[in-house]
Structures are given as C-alpha cells and as structure tokens.
Amino acid sequence: MNLALLDIRHNAGRFVATSFGVGLLFTVVLAMAGIYKGLVADATELVHAAGADLWVVQQQTRGPFADVSRLDPSVERRVAALPGVRRARGFTFLVLQRDLAGRSRRFALVGLGWPDDRGADLPLIAGRSLRQAHGELIVDASLGLAVGTKLELAREEFLVVGLTRQLLSSGGDAVIAATVADAQLITEEAPSDAIRTERFRRAERLRTTDLGRTQPALAALIVDPSWRPPVAASAPLAAVLVDLQTPIDSGRVRAALASWPDVSVYTTAEQDGLLLDGVVEKPRRQLALFALILIVTSSVLIAAVVYMMTLDKTHDLAVLKLIGARRRRIAAMVVQQAWLMGMSGYAIAVLIGSQAFSHFPRRVVLSDGALAGVGALVMVVSTLASLLGVAYALRVDAARALEG
C-alpha cells in the first residue's frame, strides 16, 4: 500500500494545481535547454550545410561568421591549384535588412561559388538548386516566401527557385543563397544619387592630381557609368571553401596554406568551435543562469508544498510512528510525494513544450538527450526539495498522537 499515492489521491485538487504550477516552471527550463540546443544548431547548420573540408579566410581573422574576413578573389584560384585540393569555392556572407515582398526582413545573404557550388548540399525542402549564374535565389522557408516568388533586389529581379528548412545564421536570421556575383551585387547596392555623387567626387579628386591636369580626357572617362578602373580591386570574398581529394590530404593542404601570409585556415570542426565559443557562448551562459534561477525556484516551490503537505500530516505521522512505522517508510512517503509532483510537473512541461515550442520565433530543439537530462534534473531537484519535509517528518514525536 503506497501511502504517498493515497494521500495525493485524497488531496488531488491541491496536488494537480501545484503540479501545474511546477509544470509551467519546468516548461521554461525545458525551453531554455531547447533554445540553447537551437542556438547551437542554428549556429552550426550553415557551416555543415556548406559541406567544406577546410575554410580559408583572411589571416588572423575568425571569419566568415564569427568575424569579418576579406579575401582577394584570386585566393580561390590559388587554393584550387594546390595538390590534394579537389575543388575550391568562393563564399560570401553578410547579414542585411531589406524589403522582401513588401515587408522589411532581416536575412543572411550567402554567396555560393558558381558554377561549382549551386546549393545542392543545402537542406532543400522544395524547388531546386541554382541553375543560372544570375537571378536565382534559394531562401529559407521561415521567410514565408514560395518557390516562384519574384523579388526585386539591387534594382534587379530575382526568382526564388528553392526553399530550405531551418537554414539560419548564428543570429537566427534566415539564409538566402545566391551566386557570389549576385550576393555581391545585392550587398553593394547603392542609391543612384550616391553613385552619381561618387562619380563627381572622383572627377574632382582627379582634377587635383597631376594625372588629371595632364590628361583632361580622363575626366570624361571616369564619370562613364560603364567604365571600371583597371587597377580597382575586385569585390572581396569572405572565405574560400576547400573540398579535398581525400581526407588524408587535410594535413598536407593545411601545411601549405599555413605558409601563405594572407590567409588562415580552419576545419569545419574548428568553425563550429569558433561559432560556439564566440557567438553562442554569452547567450548560452545567460540561458544557463536563467535556467538555474528557474530550477532553484522550482525546488523552493516543491520544497514549500511538500513541507506544507508534511506539516498537515503531522498528527497522522505521529500515529504511524506510534504504531511502529519505520523511519524509512515515513521518509519514503515524503520523498515519493516530491517525486510524483516533480514527474507530474515534468510531464506537463513536455506536453506544453511539444505543443508550444514550434511557435517560438527561434528554434527550440527538444532532443532525447535534453529531455532525459531535464528529466534527471527534475528527479534530483524533487529529491533535494523533499529533504526539508523528510527532516520534519522524522522529527515528529509519536507522543503527539496521544494529544487531543
């Protein structure tokens, strides 16, 4: 005969109400764990979707996600020429906020190295990968755009040809993938007035130089919109993604790249590390501290309720002691009630979470590991919370049963 269950059945209303309150607290604890897992998944999703063996970035930077990295486009060809490299792809990354289909949206614009990289490795759920060097986009479904939607960006028309699921930046912004050239076009879009003003400033700067004074014909050339100075640098890449011929080439290729003065190189695992240490670390600590406060609050709540339930049973405990109940039976009754309260709260939390978390603006990942971890934590918290009640129950004097 389980006294804990029988007592709870007798006081079902109070138990259910308290368990619901505890369940709400555990829901938030579960959400904290899920949001952290979601942060990690979001932060590393794009790195993994890119499918590269090595990431070459500007030297002494931690680009392209955790830091700004600017590489000359020639690096792509130089890397491709290294022994052991099967393929080198240009890559750009920038977070923008633009009008998309009539709404101002924030997104991460990723440039893929056309024609080697057409986005075939991205987690497509609808449509297709890129087939043209210009004018096509793959967008994340969280932006709410459909395949076939036409978007105007940088005064050009782009067609949505594919949709991905949960392809987000470490900041939680949906990813839009285009060719590197289109990404640079969109990124460097400037208003017409700014372009005209820059042309005039260029002409004025030329007039103050010996070159401008000795060759006046240059002034007409420099304001020609179709003319590009041959000495001007091409738009930079953020990184070059390296696909190796075999994994055993990694060390050799890395050693070669390490001797170059203008680049740093990271593996995918190191990119994960940079993102998790740099981008996710502070939110992770914040979530952990928040979860800690909630766990302590849950413990205090369970402890207070179990203690009050134990106080209410003082006379019954005295009777049980008087008729010879062993200490472990008395303690088990209190601990089991705390466990039942904790487990009920946890079940309510899982139920609420499974229904509500999909509506959160950021991804909440409820992995089996997280569920098991929070479940184990609930048991530990419930056990600790019962100690106050157990201590009281064991102190109850059997003689109180004979009073009044």
Partner 1 sequence: MAQPLATAAQASLAALRAEGVSKTFGVGDTLVRALSDISLTLASGTVVALLGPSGAGKSTLVKALGLVSLPERGRIWMAGELVAEDGRALADLRDLRRQHLGFVFQKPNLIPFLTARQNVQVACEIGAQSNPRQRADELLAYLEVAHRASAMPATLSGGEQQRVAIARALANRPALIFADEPTAALDKVRGRQVMELFGRIAHEQGAAVLVVTHDHRTLDVFDEQHEMEDGRLLPVAA
Closest by Cα among 4, 28, 9 to 298: 28
3-state class (DSSP) for residue 360 = coil
Please identify which residue in 316, 365, 375, 379 interacts with partner 1, judged by CB under 8 A. 316
Calpha distance 303→223 (Å, rounded): 77
Return the range that interacts with partner 1 (CB under 8 A); candidates 74-82, 113-121, 233-241, 313-321. 313-321
Please identify which residue in 41, 80, 82, 322 interacts with partner 1, judged by CB under 8 A. 322
Count Cβ neighbours within 10 Å for each residue of 29-44 and write b for 16 or more, e otherwise: bbbbbbbbbbbbbbbb
Q: What phi, psi does 128 have (nearest 5°)? A: -145, 180
Please identify which residue in 32, 122, 237, 401 interacts with partner 1, judged by CB under 8 A. 401
Give the shortest CB-2-to-partner 1 separation in angstroms. Answer: 11
Please identify which residue in 1, 81, 232, 248 interacts with partner 1, judged by CB under 8 A. 1
Q: Is 305 a binder of partner 1 (CB under 8 A)?
A: no
Closest by Cα among 235, 260, 284 to 54: 260
Please identify which residue in 154, 219, 325, 394 interacts with partner 1, judged by CB under 8 A. 325
Pairing of strands 156-164, 136-140: parallel
Task: Report 62-101 residues binding partner 1 (CB under 8 A).
Answer: none
Calpha distance 324→317 (Å, rounded): 11
Q: Is 267 a binder of partner 1 (CB under 8 A)?
A: no
Give the shortest CB-302-to-partner 1 separation in angstroms. Answer: 20
> The dihedral of CA 150, 154, 156, 162: what is its sign?
negative
Return the range that interacts with partner 1 (CB under 8 A); candidates 89-97, 140-148, 248-256, 322-330. 322-330
Helix (H) or strand (E) holding 250: helix 250-258
Closer by beta carbon to partner 1, 160 or else 318: 318
Closer by beta carbon to partner 1, 1 or else 248: 1
Which residues form the interface with partner 1 (CB under 8 A)?
A: 1, 3, 6-7, 9-11, 315-316, 319-326, 329, 398-399, 401-402, 404
